[in-house]
Structure 1
Amino acid sequence: MEDHQALARWAADCAEHVLPHFEQAEPTDDRPRLAIEAAHAWARGEISVTAARDAAFAAHEAAREVSQPAARSAARAAGHAAATAHVITHASHSASYAAKAATQAGADEIATVEERDWQYRQLPDHLRAKIFPASTR
């Protein structure tokens, strides 16, 4: 359970790192931010899995409604962060969408590498090999 909570926090941090891409495009839509907050709240034991999933669905709905690619990927990262409460493998999807948002915003491969390096440094040491096999980092 501790690893599950740690990955939910990490996924939320990954999503929050690129959230400005969404908030610049849709400054009045707080669904992705609420999903990130839900992931953190679930990891602290403050909300149920169902509440976190509801926040995840809302963030994914926001992603479907925005036209800017980096904003869409940032919202999807937030949705997967909250969904990590339900299924642990959503954490890696959150990180992938966050890297995609960084790439779309930066329009080059360097943005992807820099985002993945940042994500790697945020992850607890004992979980790094599980999330970042040597061939994907």
Structure 2
Amino acid sequence: MTGEPQEVMLGTQDLRDVTAFAAACAEPALPLFEAERPDDPRPREAVATAWEFARGGARGKPLRDTAAAALKAAGSTHTAAGREAAWAAMSAAAAAYLHPLAKSTQVKHILGAAAHAARAAELARGDDRGVGTGHLERAARHATPAVADVLKRFPAAPDGGGRVGQLIRLLDTALRTPG
């Protein structure tokens, strides 16, 4: 059937590499959530479960459950920075479920944790866009060639999505640009 997205080849190691990158990007945002909700371990558990998968664990129910729990935790915050930090954690656990469809929307599975963490940092510093840009620059330096290779199998990130969408597109461009 014409018009359907093509399938992208993804192996388990590709998913582990992407999930490790997402977990590493989300982890620095956790203190922003925990400062507000020190009694709520859900975002940290989502990142820990993402790391477990990235290091060889199973891709199954714990990833889905902790991602959903982190999403619910985001709703319990009183600040936009705390909410973005929880979304970064949710995105880390959800990265393991990158779909093998050549659709631009799949780029958020790869770069969403980094973008939400960058946005959380911006908001925590009075909406300082330079802080978010700095986070993305560090994320780009820490992205492995394997992560960039997986990203390049998909179309460029789509338009829209507000500031987080903009951050995704900035990181997407940086990782696709040689050199």
TM-score, normalization by structure 2: 0.70
Partner of 2:116: 97
Partner of 2:87: 76
Q: CA deviation at 1:55?
A: 0.4
Distance 1:136 1:105 in 2: 29
Map 1:84-123 → 2, pairs under 5 A: 84-87=95-98, 89=106, 90-106=109-125, 107-123=127-143
Deviation digits for residues 36-56 of structure 1 (CA, Å, limit 9, x no counterpart):
001011122323322101100
Change (3 A) 1:105 1:50: same
RMSD: 2.1
Deviation digits for residues 44-72 of structure 1 (CA, Å, limit 9, x no counterpart):
23233221011000000000111111111
Please identify, of 99-108 and 89-98, the stretch whose mean Cα deviation from structure 2 is larger: 89-98
Distance 1:136 1:70 in 2: 28
TM-score, normalization by structure 1: 0.90
Larger radius of gyration: 2
State the aligned residue count.
137
Conserved 8 A contact 1:66-1:72: yes
Counting helix residues as a fraction of each chain, which structure ranks higher? 1
Map 1:37-48 → 2, pairs under 5 A: 37-48=48-59
Distance 1:54 1:96 in 2: 22
Q: Helix, strand or coil for the counterpart of 2:40?
A: coil
Unaligned regions of 5+ residues in structure 1, if any? none
Partner of 1:132: 172
Unaligned regions of 5+ residues in structure 2, if any? 1-11, 100-105, 152-170
Identity %: 34
Distance 1:136 1:77 in 2: 22
Conserved 8 A contact 1:38-1:47: no
Conserved 8 A contact 1:49-1:85: no
